[in-house]
Chains A and B, each alone.
Chain A
Amino acid sequence: MSLADATAAELLAAFAARTASPVDAVQACLDRIAEVDTHLNAVLVLLAEPALAAARQSEKRWTDGTARPLEGVPFGLKDIVATAGITTTGGSALFKDAVPGTDAALTGRLTGAGGILLAKLHTFEFACGGAENRTFGRCHNPWDVDRTTGGSSSGSGAAVAAGEVPLAIGTDTGGSIRLPAAYCGITGLKATYGRVPRHGVMGLSWTLDHAGPMTRSVADAARMLGVIAGRDDRDPTSSRRAVPDYVAALAQPVAGMTVGRARGWFEAVLQPEVLTSYEAALADLAGAGVRVVDVELPDVDLWDVAAWTVMYAEALSYHQHHVYDVENRDAMGAGLLAGGPYVQTVDYLRGLRYRRIAQGQLEAAMAGVDALVTPGAVSTAPALDDIATTGDSASWLISATRTSIPFNYTGNPGLCVPTGLAADGMPASLQFVGRPHDESTILALGQAYQTVTDHHLARPAVPAGA
């Protein structure tokens, strides 16, 4: 196996055993990027020389016994995450040449833990999702380059799936970590609102935005979350709670746990192949000793409309100075921003106030279960052209985020894991939803699932269809 296909845990084990070095790992990723990225367009900025220099420093740390938790592991950042001295475009022509003076909090935490920043990764303008990016071009799904990666963490999904980097950061306002994870067959974790500080991350909707890991395994997501989680005073909404040992939590036994299957809203419009994959995944979980019971969440349609009401209002408020030139913005961003002026103040406030009602409903539904399960997405990755030719692309986004945005709204953590290829040859996914600040339980469930299945080990024959 190429080092480019290894997980972070495998790389760290190889570094410790001196069977591979950080320079080997960085070089393997660079070779893979050179091989496939012309077909994917996941990488916006490649940092080859600084990464190789950092890898040489990491080798010294492995030699002198001062290796840190991610020592020598390459990673990528969605290009809305600030990097000092390195362009951070927000996926937009408006910021094509913008160079921040300081790192985002999570950039500093990853490099401070020994991670090696290898690439800034594709995203849609202002992290709005869609199919097109007029400034940087389309990003393509490694499983079928004619299909979307999902978004807006498009480059993160493609790069991790294709072996360009083992770890990436995504952000998630309505599903932008979990959708590309589902569409690209990788693991994606949106932690509890406030668990990961957002200082230095371009916003879209301040009460819905999250940042988190996109990886090839649950174990890597746990390791990465342990590095980036925790209070940062520059983000007043970041949690002061202590950061648990998420890697240790992976060993928590799941036999005897109960997960609640929320049907209704979450399964009403599933692509049949996705439902088949989902049912099989639940059977695998049951085989691991996890009891699956039905739970009722009858008002999720209200959570959904409340979430979108909040997002339209907050996105327009935040990007107010960009909307005057909206016809020069990309389609999805333009659609989202142009949908904002009609949200009435009283509805925005109701959307905020109803959030606590939704949280109470979820709390009641989760009484007696350890976590919820839903499909990771309602379909496999659609064709890029199908999204691009949909005149009302924002409506497509509303449909695509059906299983994800409810938990941006409530703030609960959601973990997507791949459940194998559907009949159309594209990845399908399962989402675990935990109680707030109980990432440990959903990580343990995900780890158990990846212990009894091997779907997370599947790699695309990049670039399929090119």
Chain B
Amino acid sequence: MSDPDNFRWMAAEQGLTFTLERYAAALTLHAGMRDALLRLRQVPLSFLDPTEPDSALVWLENGGRS
């Protein structure tokens, strides 16, 4: 997990500077999502299916049928 210094660096990479409180809030927020994000990263995804956003929109347009 990133620390506040890394967050400052990542924001700075995009030309952004926030208050210390803002970095702390962002860190808390991302820390709260961390475990689920790590699990999401482990989900195998094939190369051609899904390709986004096309395949999700096709599923919707088909009324939710694969």
Contacts and interface: CB of A to CB of B under 8 A. Distances in A.
A and B together in one complex: yes
A321 B21 CA distance: 21
B52 A352 contact: yes
B38 to A, nearest CB: 9
A339 interface: yes
A107 B12 CA distance: 40
A412 interface: yes
- Quick one: which of B2, B14, B41, B60 has the most chain A CB within 10 A? B60
A350 B60 contact: no
A239 B61 contact: yes
Nearest to A438: B63
B28 A334 contact: no
Nearest to A306: B40
B56 A411 contact: yes
A460 B36 CA distance: 40
B58 to A, nearest CB: 9
Interface in A205-228: 207
A394 B25 contact: yes
Contacts of A438: 63-64
A339 B49 CA distance: 30
A341 B16 contact: yes
Contact of B59 (A306, A327, A335, A356): A356
A194 B60 contact: yes
Contacts of A398: 29, 32-33
A234 interface: no
Contacts of A306: 40
A350 B50 CA distance: 10
Contacts of A138: none
A359 B56 contact: yes
B39 to A, nearest CB: 6
Nearest first, the 8 A-B pairs at minimum CB distance are A356-B50, A305-B36, A352-B52, A435-B64, A436-B64, A436-B60, A341-B11, A355-B56
23 contacts: A193-B60, A207-B53, A302-B40, A305-B36, A309-B40, A338-B11, A338-B26, A341-B13, A342-B11, A342-B26, A353-B45, A354-B43, A357-B45, A360-B59, A363-B66, A394-B29, A398-B29, A435-B63, A436-B59, A436-B60, A437-B63, A438-B63, A438-B64
